[in-house]
Amino acid sequence: MVLVAMLSTSSLGVFNQQFSMEAMAQGKQFSLEDLNFGGHNYRNMVPQTKYHTWWGSQLVRLDVEECYLVDKKTGRESVLLDTAQVNSIIRQSGRDDVSVVRHMYSVEFPEAGKTVVMVSNGRQNVLLDWKKQQLLWAGKTLEGGSSLGFCKASKADAVLKDNNLYVVDAQGTARQLSTDGSREIVYGQSVHRNEFGIDGGIFWSPDGQRLAFYRMDQSEVGDYPQVNIEAREAAYEPDKYPMAGERSHDVTVGVYDLQSGKTIYLQTPQSRDTQKLPESGEMDGKAVYFTNVAWAPDGKTVYMFELNRDQNDCRLVSYDALTGERLKELDRETSTKYVEPQHPVTFLPWDAQQFLFQSQRDGYNHLYLFNLKTGKIRQLTSGQWVVLDLVGFNEKARSVVIASNECNPIQRNTFAVDVKTGRRTLLDNGEGYHSAELSADGQWLRDSWSAPQVPRVISVQSTVQKPGRLTAKTLFTAENPWKDYNVPEYSCGTLKAADGQTDLYYRMVKPVGFDPAKKYPTIIYVYGGPHAHNVDARWNYCSRGWETYMAQKGYLLFILDNRGSENRGRDFEQATFRQLGQVEMQDQMQGVSFLKSLPYVDQDRIGVHGWSYGGYMTISLMTNYPDVFKVGVAGGPVIDWKWYEVMYGERYMDSPQQNPEGYAKCSLLSKAKNLKGKLQIITGYNDNTVVPQHCLSFIYQCNLAGTQPDFYAYPGEGHNMMGHQSTHLHERISQYFDDYLIK
């Protein structure tokens, strides 16, 4: 049931409507320095924003030298605190070991109603009371160490030094938790190649008195031979890279108790999968994936998801944080394809016996409520739409605030969900793409949003809204930074997938000064893989700056989110299982058919470009449909999935031993002989995500087959070109299409 509080549901109008964003006949011309994120003028060409944080239920705007208290009803601002006041307190303390603060962007207000602020000077965290003019506390650093995660509750810091894990407590005392750290034994860092929602390796309990951390033994993982060419003699600097079907990491979870100074390890299963696989002996039975570590509110129990190596059997398990004992298996989800846990459990702030978890078990990612007293599970949200994020809670209203695409598959909107009834209330205007931040009590919401014709708006409002009446105070509306420039036409629409039933969303960028009587060279930009999408309801339909640059040069750009991409439900994503690239190509060719039906598309001048998975798709399309695509640029391309990492590769393809036919079908090595058009392959010479073995092996097969791709490498760069190298990269990509497609 949906209870809607909104101004209008017209949101995007008709998706295939086109609009010209104030294009002027004599407007300025863009350069890559304007439009590429590595460009010197890029920051001036993106919509401006304002930065805020919450002080209890008070909204505070952050700036360089000041922070301002914002009146939520009128939007008026008054100076709350500035760097001069903060640094005066630091100097008056007489602490020579505390550096001054240079800006106010990193301030936090830990307690509502108290004039206490935590600031960072770049080296340490500092806590002070600006009303009492007192320095309350300043963190101490561990010389030669790097912080893995600071805990505001206990003011303790987890630190990595010489590959070993330390905890520096509030008094500055450092305790060493490990002694065997090395490049083989890794402590307190991300494991499982950052899959399964993992983005760090330390987890503080709510009171900060216990620290859970990962320990990863990768001594049996193969070394990929990366080379550092900056040394006088090129140096061997290998990466630990577990390839599909090969040995993986051995991960355990430790818990350190600050009071006792003791560390225990959770008694996790070490061998759930011991199946024999042909030609490889025993599959690595130690590879049970442990992810989404979470704490009970009292800090006595650890919860996490455990996933077998086949990734089709996922169990939610609780552990005793004091002894490491495995307590109970609370839930189990299995699949004929794969289960993919991405989020930790989240306890209700008003009930320590109930928590929420997320699952796609009904076909779409939704919230489920688990009751520890009864052991029962209740589905809280449902429908053919996706919960995109759990934003927070309104404890007084007993509601959970979520972001979802219920309004439209390419939108992101904010809803309050009544935990008792499941009733949903829309908390924004129902348009565009919204990012919400809640006050500490959850009763106020700061909303930053954009829409295809709206660069950015920031507003504040109550999370308790009456049906049909949205009351929000606009705090900031960004100007269009492109108002003085010639801009292309952006449009969005849908077409049917190759199955004839599924709607696929596309974005089209028409050339500046578009004339429907002309025929234009057309570039398809593609990604196509899981955990990503290209089209949404943000400014310009989320068009990339490079598309605008190329449209200015006279190209038409087309971008289609095929099946296999994210936020459209389980079956949409899993249509590619065990055959990566095949369904995706079928859908992209539906896009080609659509383009060929348009009189202004030059069918003899169609190009394709993509990076990473998009590089794989680019070469796939160039070699499977060689008479369709005249030019392609493939960056960081996967060529054969047997060279990709265990966790990602085996989720979507199973192992090479289990699915040899699929790996052979999806490999591009045998397709090298089919290449006809002009293809440029680009890679970071030190890519540790899609290792250079991929593109080099394809080039070798082209040599044998007598086909002629072009190749360019960026020495010292990884999977993505950083800084101004990115501008150089996009100049090279653009030049390749200029040389071979536009003529």
Amino acid at 432: G
CB 539 within 8 A of CB 592: no
Start-end of H helices in 72-143: 83-92
**Nearest to residue 548, comparing CAs of 44, 21, 17?**
21
CA–CA dist 464, 462 (Å, integer): 5
CB 640 within 8 A of CB 663: yes
Residue 566, classed as helix, strand or coil, is coil
CB 610 within 8 A of CB 528: yes
Amino acid at 326: R
Length of the chain: 743
Residue 26 contacts by C-beta under 8 Å, 6 or more apart in sequence? Answer: none
CB 330 within 8 A of CB 292: no
Residue 238 contacts by C-beta under 8 Å, 6 or more apart in sequence? Answer: 223, 224, 225, 226
Amino acid at 318: S
Q: How many CB atoms lie within 10 A of CB 716?
A: 13
CB 61 within 8 A of CB 460: no
* 719 counts as catalytic: yes
Q: Which of 448, 491, 612, 734 is catalytic?
A: 612
Tokens 């398990």 appear where? 317
CB 12 within 8 A of CB 434: no
Residue 297, classed as helix, strand or coil, is coil
CB 292 within 8 A of CB 345: yes
**Nearest to residue 672, comparing CAs of 684, 681, 660?**
681
CA–CA dist 723, 496 (Å, integer): 38
* 734 counts as catalytic: no
The DSSP output letter for 14 is S
CA–CA dist 155, 285 (Å, integer): 39
Strands (E), 7-76: 18-20, 51-55, 58-62, 66-70
CA–CA dist 404, 434 (Å, integer): 10
Distance from chain centroid for Cα 446: 21
Distance from chain centroid for Cα 143: 32
**Nearest to residue 270, comparing CAs of 282, 284, 280?**
284
Q: Which of 331, 533, 687, 694 is catalytic?
A: 687
Start-end of H helices in 411-532: none
CA–CA dist 339, 384 (Å, integer): 18
Taking CA atoms, 407 is separated from 411, 432, 434, 437, 506, in Å, by 7, 9, 12, 19, 18
Q: Which of 418, 719, 728, 738 is catalytic?
A: 719
Catalytic residue list: 612, 687, 719
